[in-house]
Amino acid sequence: MNRRILLIVLSFFLLTACFSNKAETDSKNSIYYIDNKGSDTIVNLALAWAEKYQSEHTDVSVAVTGGGSGTGIAALINKTTNIANASRQIKQEEIAEAKKNGVDPVEHTIARDAIAVIVNPNNPVSRLTMQQISDIYSGKIDNWSEVGGEDRPIVRLSREVNSGTHVYFLETVVRLGNSDNKTFFSTDTLLLPSSEGIVSEVRQNPNAIGYDGLGYVPQDLKTIAIAPEEGQPYILPSIATVNDKTYPIARDLYMYTNGESTGVLKEYLDWILSPEAQQIVADQGFVPVK
C-alpha cells in the first residue's frame, strides 16, 4: 500500500519535471515536449487538440495551461512556453518587449469565436442592428415593439461577469467596440451562471433575449440576423459569414510562436489547421477557420 503511494508520488514528480522542460528531445525516449499556455477561452479547445494529437503521436507530449491571453504572451516573451494562446491580437507594446528579449512573435489564426444573439422562436423579431442590440442591453430600449416586435417587455439575459464572453459582448456590442464608451449593461440584466441557464430561459420566455457562443445554440431557438449599421445587410451567423467577416460579433483566436516554427512544433501547428483538428474546433463550439 505504502509502496503504491510512493510510486504515485514519484510518478507525479516525474511528470511535473517533464512538463517543466521545453520542446527538447529526451534522448532516451525521444519524446518531444510542447508547452502551450494562455487564453482561458481557448484552453478547452487546446486540451482537446493536445489529447487527440498525443493519442496519434505517442512521441509528442503537449502540456496545456490557461491563465489568460496576457499570461500566455508574457510566457512567450520570457521564453517559458513554445506556443502562446490568445483570444486577442498581440499588442504593439508586447511586440516591442518581445523584440527586446530576442523573441519574434509569429501569429497563427487557429479558430474563430462567434457570438449568436438568440430569442424565443415565438418572437416575431428576426433582425436587429448592432446599435439596437446595444440599446436593448444598456436599457434604452425596453419593449419589443420599439424594434418591430410585439408589445412585450424585454428581458435581457447575460452570462456572469467573470465570463470572457460577457466582457467580449460588453466591449464589442454594448459599447460598439468603442473603448471610450462607458455604457453599462442595464442593472436589471439577468446574469446567469451558465450557457444552459440562458438557453432554457430563452426557450421558455417569449420576452427574453440572450447571447451565447455560436456552437452552443440549439436548433429550436431563433438566431437574430445582425447588421453592423442601419442600412447594411442583416447577416445570420454561420461558418461562412464568420469566415468572410461579414458577421459583426466574431473574433479570431490565435496561437503565437517564437519565429517561424520548425520540426515537431510546425507539424503540430499544421495539424491544427487540418480538417481533423478543425472538426474538433466545431465540436468545442467555435468556428473552424477552414
Partner 1 sequence: MEKSLNWREFFITRLINLSGYSAMLFVALIFFFLLKEGLPALQEVKLSMLFSTRWYPIEDYYGILPLITGSIIITIGATLISVPFGLATAIYIAEIAPRWMREILKPVVELLGGIPSVVLGFLGILLLANFLRTSMNLPTGLTALGGSLLLAAVALPTVVSVSEDALDTVPRSYREGAWALGATPWQTIWRVTLPAAKSGVLTAIMLGVGRTIGETMVVLMVTGNAPVMALTPAALFHPARTMTATIAAEMGEVANGSTHYHVLFFIGMVLFLISLAVNIAASSVVFRTKKRAERILS
Residues that bind partner 1 (CB under 8 A): 152-155, 160-162, 166-167, 184-185, 187-193, 197, 200-201, 204-205, 207-208
In the complex, least distance from residue 219 CB atom to partner 1, rounded to whole angstroms? 19
User: Looking at this protein, which amino acid is placed at residue 63?
Assistant: A
In the complex, least distance from residue 170 CB atom to partner 1, rounded to whole angstroms? 8
Nearer to partner 1, 205 or 223 (CB): 205
In the complex, least distance from residue 205 CB atom to partner 1, rounded to whole angstroms? 6
* Cα 210 from Cα 198, distance rounded (Å): 6
- Cell triple for 169: 459582448
Residue 231's alpha-carbon distances to 127, 157, 238, 269, in angstroms, are: 12, 27, 21, 41
Nearer to partner 1, 185 or 271 (CB): 185
Nearer to partner 1, 213 or 237 (CB): 213
**Phi, psi of 225, rounded to the nearest 5 degrees:** -85, 135
In the complex, least distance from residue 142 CB atom to partner 1, rounded to whole angstroms? 10
Nearer to partner 1, 211 or 268 (CB): 211
Nearer to partner 1, 92 or 179 (CB): 179
* Cα 60 from Cα 240, distance rounded (Å): 33
CA-nearest of 248, 260, 281, 286 to 52 is 281
* Cα 119 from Cα 206, distance rounded (Å): 7
Q: Classify the C-alpha dihedral 247-189-179-131 as positive or negative.
A: positive
Nearer to partner 1, 29 or 145 (CB): 145
Tell me the Ramachandran region of residue 57: left when phi exceeds 0, alpha when psi lies from -120 to 50, beta otherwise. Answer: beta
| Helix and strand totals (H; E) in the chain | 10, 11
Nearer to partner 1, 65 or 246 (CB): 65
* Cα 140 from Cα 228, distance rounded (Å): 18
* Cα 55 from Cα 77, distance rounded (Å): 30
Nearer to partner 1, 153 or 275 (CB): 153
In the complex, least distance from residue 204 CB atom to partner 1, rounded to whole angstroms? 5
In the complex, least distance from residue 98 CB atom to partner 1, rounded to whole angstroms? 24
Return all residues near 35 (Cβ < 8 A) that are at least 6 apart: 19, 22, 23, 63, 75, 80, 81, 82, 83
User: Looking at this protein, which amino acid is placed at residue 84?
Assistant: A
In the complex, least distance from residue 39 CB atom to partner 1, rounded to whole angstroms? 14
In the complex, least distance from residue 1 CB atom to partner 1, rounded to whole angstroms? 29
